[in-house]
Amino acid sequence: MLNFELKIKNLKFIILPFLVQLFSVLPLAAAAQQPDLEAQARQIAAELRCPVCQNLSAGDSPSELAQQMKGIILEQLKEGKSPDEIKAYFVSKYGEWVLLSPPARGFGLLVWVLPYVVAVAGIVLVLLVVRRWTGKKGRQEPSAADAALLARIKREAAIEAPAPPERESGSPRAELLQEQARLYADLRELDFDYRAGKLSEADYQDLRNTLETEAVLVLKKIETTPARRAATAPKASEGKPSVEKKTAPTQASARPGWQLAAGGAFLLLFGITVGVLLTKSVRPRGSDQDSITGDFLTGTGPGGMAGGAGMGGMGASPSRDVAALLAQGRAAYERQDWSKAIEAFKSALAVDPNQPEAHTYMGLILAQAGHADGALMAFERALSANPKFPLALWGKGMLLYQGKQDFAGARATLQSLLEILPAGEEKNQIQKTLAEINEASKGRKEGPKKVKAEAAAPPARPAAQAQGQQIRGTITVDPKLKSKLDGKAVLFIVVYQAGSTGGPPLAVKKIDNPVFPLAYSLGSESVMMAGMPFSGKVTVSVRLDKDGNAMTKGAGDLTGERNGPVEVGAQKVDIVLDRAM
């Protein structure tokens, strides 16, 4: 029923970029006889940054400024300027920022050098770590045979020994002896530190184990070295121990608990920071073609091309970008993905509670779902924010006409829409609808007088047949709940088809500022879906809604219902508001 689309505005946005592209291509086409110049211009443009984009070259960017830059490059080439001169020209206007490859000097040098430095540092780091891991494994399990050596070390390390004899200085054995003495000294120092309270028990044990294991290895080597000295080549016995010696001390300790905790805390903090900053820099996608950053990265998102929507650098939080949310909602509405559309428009309303377009689309969705009152309220909200919002005027007019049969209201609304619509297909359509409304209202005015007299004449519409059928009665409030009455509340009388288990109600009547006891009558004018007959067995309930919103049931609402179904046309359908929610 509601498939009307105001596309007039959109048309401009489809055609404009097209024209812009066309015009920017024309000068290039004229230069086609100098293909080498054009290729040269492209190459220069590829090396220049597009000033309105992020990390996009002027050659790749579809933005108007980038196109103009290409034109300027081509012109300067024709004047006989060299590529370097042209690049220098752009640098003189926008600074070195405009070069995609920064010059290898000053701060720009960092960009060229840093990756290599980091790569080399990374490789070195990996090598060190791997070496440490492999080294540790070898040391960690002293065999049973080493127990004797270990005892010897514990014994010997405790006493301060004289420096090893230097006579074999430079020989592998002398080196090993020196190493042994050093380890003993380290063990004593460790004991001293431990007794002085500088080390925790865990650290001490760990370091001590490490040193003792190293010492065991050294002692073993000392035992084997003299015997093998004659047989083995010096380089073989020289290389190994020195490697062990140099890497071993760095294996000092396993990570104590506080280090792990600090690392964890750091990672957590880092993650939170990145998360917060990222959510601030991106926004919901406007459509499938849109990027999460809109024109933030390319300068060509909806904000960039449509103009106005994306106020670059204004510091407005993009996740609260109403324009994007509306676009999202419209797209979902057109796909008939109602839940997505509602979600998007609700988010838009959360940012700007008076956004007329969001209210209007909510109204259209509600009307489609058969919630005429809710829809009407949404249209009213849109119109209170912008009394000349065409889509809201149209929605309200059609709803009053088809949903509520309020011909006078529909006529007034559509009339004001006519005044603001430009001439065209849509205006004609509205005029046609108005003519239809005039017809229908004429029919109704005469209707009641003739209903009885012309019982034989077939009625024009099925709805008209039930015109006289009404439910009447009185609504009262339980005396116990009198104190909970709220002067501003809105009363809803809701009629369901008897036996229906879900779906929209058959009819709803809304009464503002009710005064109890309240006599009511409810007829086909309150039927929600146009054309549904108001007849048969129905159930009737009432709700006094505190916030006046038919969609929400909240605390403070009073409800009551008629026990059992009644026939449409019944009188004295009295209902008591006897429950508080």
Partner 1 sequence: MEPSRSAAPWRRLVITLAVLLPLIGILAYGFMRDPRYINSPLIGQQAAPFTVTLFDGKKLSLDDLRGKAVFLNFWASWCPPCRAEARDLEAAWQRVKNSDVVFLGVDIQDTEEDARAYLREFDVTYPNGRDLTGKVAVDYGVWGIPETFFIDPQGRITYKHVGSLGTPLITAKLEEARAGIVSAKEGKGSYQTVR
The residues near 208 (Cβ < 8 Å, ≥ 6 apart) are: 187, 190
Question: Strand 566-567 and strand 537-545: pairing?
Answer: antiparallel
CB 321 within 8 A of CB 329: no
List all residues 6 or more positions away from 566 whose beta carbon is below 8 Å from its beta carbon.
Answer: 471, 537, 538, 539, 540, 573
Task: Please report whether residue 312 would count as binding partner 1 according to CB under 8 A.
Answer: yes
- Identify the helix (H) or strand (E) that includes residue 149: helix 146-158
Which of 547-575 are b and which e, b meaning 16 or more Cβ less than 10 Å from the residue's Cβ? eeebeeeeeebbbbbbeeebebebeebeb
Which residue number, 259 or 336, has a Cβ lying nearer to partner 1? 259
Q: Does 313 bind partner 1 (CB under 8 A)?
A: yes
CB 334 to partner 1: min, Å:
26
- State yes or no: residue 95 binds partner 1 (CB under 8 A): yes
User: CB neighbours (10 Å) of residue 403?
Assistant: 23
Closer to partner 1 by Cβ: residue 207 or 331: 207
Near partner 1 by CB under 8 A: residue from 28, 65, 351, 498: 65
Distance CA 355, CA 348 (A): 7
- CB-nearer residue toward partner 1: 121 or 350: 121
CB-CB contact of 182 with 189 (8 Å)? no
Q: What are phi and psi of 336, to 5 degrees?
A: 65, 30
Among 10, 68, 169, 431, binds partner 1 (CB under 8 A): 68
Select 20 or 418, whichever has its Cβ closest to partner 1.
20
- Please, what is the minimum distance in Å from the beta carbon of residue 84 to partner 1? 18
Angle, to 10 degrees, between the axis of helix 64-78 and the axis of helix 8-30?
Answer: 10
Site for partner 1 in 178-197 (CB under 8 A): 186, 189-190, 193
286 lies in the site for partner 1, by CB under 8 A: no
Among 122, 307, 353, 556, binds partner 1 (CB under 8 A): 307
Q: Which of 45, 176, 207, 434 binds partner 1 (CB under 8 A)?
A: 207
How far apart are the C-alpha atoms of 25 and 37, rounded to whole Å? 15
Binding test (CB under 8 A) with partner 1, winner from 38, 56, 59, 63:
63
The number of CA neighbours under 13 Å toward the Cβ of 571 is: 1
Strands 575-577 and 471-477, sheet pairing? parallel
In sequence order, which residues have a C-beta less than 8 Å from that of residue 529 and are 6 or more positions away? Answer: 370, 403, 504
Secondary structure (H, E, C), 50-82: CCCCCCCECCCCCCHHHHHHHHHHHHHHHCCCC
Q: In the complex, what is the shortest distance from the CB of residue 282 to partner 1, in angstroms, rounded to a whole number?
A: 12
In contact, 179 and 245? CB cutoff 8 Å: yes
Rounded to whole angstroms, how far apart are CA atoms 280 and 129? 37
Binding part of the chain for partner 1, among 47-55, 213-221, 438-446, 489-497 by CB under 8 A, reads 47-55
463: left (phi over 0), alpha (psi -120 to 50) or beta: alpha
Asked if 534 interacts with partner 1 (CB under 8 A), we say: no
Closest distance of CB 514 from partner 1, Å: 46
Q: Pick from 2, 4, 28, 51: which binds partner 1 (CB under 8 A)?
A: 51
Instruction: Work out which of 13, 97, 112, 133 binds partner 1, going by CB under 8 A.
Output: 97
The reply on whether position 322 binds partner 1 by CB under 8 A is: no
Q: Which is nearer to partner 1, 198 or 388 (CB)?
A: 198
Nearer to partner 1, 122 or 234 (CB): 122
Per CB under 8 A, does 138 bind partner 1?
A: no
- Of 165 and 315, CB closest to partner 1: 315
Considering the rule CB under 8 A, would residue 356 count as an interface residue with partner 1?
no
Task: Give the footprint of partner 1 on residues 493-522 (CB under 8 A).
Answer: none
Instruction: Considering the complex, state which of residue 65 and residue 570 has its C-beta at the smaller distance from partner 1.
Output: 65
The two most distant CA atoms of the chain are separated, in Å, by 140
Instruction: Kindly state whether residue 54 participates in binding partner 1, applying the rule CB under 8 A.
Output: yes
Whether 164 contacts 181, CB under 8 Å: yes
186 vs 212, which CB is nearer to partner 1?
186
How large is the C-alpha radius of gyration of the chain? 43
The only residue of 304, 397, 473, 560 in contact with partner 1, by rule CB under 8 A: 304
In the window 224-283, what residues touch partner 1 (CB under 8 A)? 249, 252-253, 256, 259, 262, 266, 270, 274, 277, 281
Least Å from the CB of residue 471 to partner 1: 54
Q: Give the dihedral sign, CA 127/128/131/137.
A: negative
Tell me: does residue 106 bind partner 1 (CB under 8 A). Answer: no
Candidate list 7, 9, 93, 480; residue touching partner 1; CB under 8 A: 93
Half-sphere exposure of 507 (CA within 13 A, CB side): 26
Nearer to partner 1, 59 or 363 (CB): 59
Rounded to whole angstroms, how far apart are CA atoms 377 and 366?
10
Kindly give, in sequence order, each residue whose CB lies less than 8 Å from that of residue 500, ignoring residues fewer than 6 positions away. Answer: 506
| Nearer to partner 1 (CB atom), residue 69 or residue 378 | 69
Choice between 305 and 349, CB closer to partner 1: 305
By CB under 8 A, the residues from 148 to 177 that bind partner 1 are none
Residue 203 contacts partner 1 per CB under 8 A: yes
H/E stretch holding 261 reads helix 257-281
Produce one character per residue of 93-114: b if its CB has 16 or more CB atoms within 10 Å, e if not: eeeeebbeeeeeeeeeeeeeee
Size of the site for partner 1 (CB under 8 A): 49
Does 311 help bind partner 1 (rule: CB under 8 A)?
Answer: yes
* Both tokens assigned to 210: 């490490």
Minimum distance of partner 1 from residue 578's CB (angstroms): 56
**Per CB under 8 A, 102 contacts partner 1:** no
CB of 457 to partner 1, least distance (A): 58
Residues near partner 1, by CB under 8 A: 51-52, 54, 63-65, 68-69, 71-72, 90-95, 97-98, 186, 189-190, 193, 198-199, 203, 207, 249, 252-253, 256, 259, 262, 266, 270, 274, 277, 281, 295-296, 299, 304-305, 307-308, 310-314
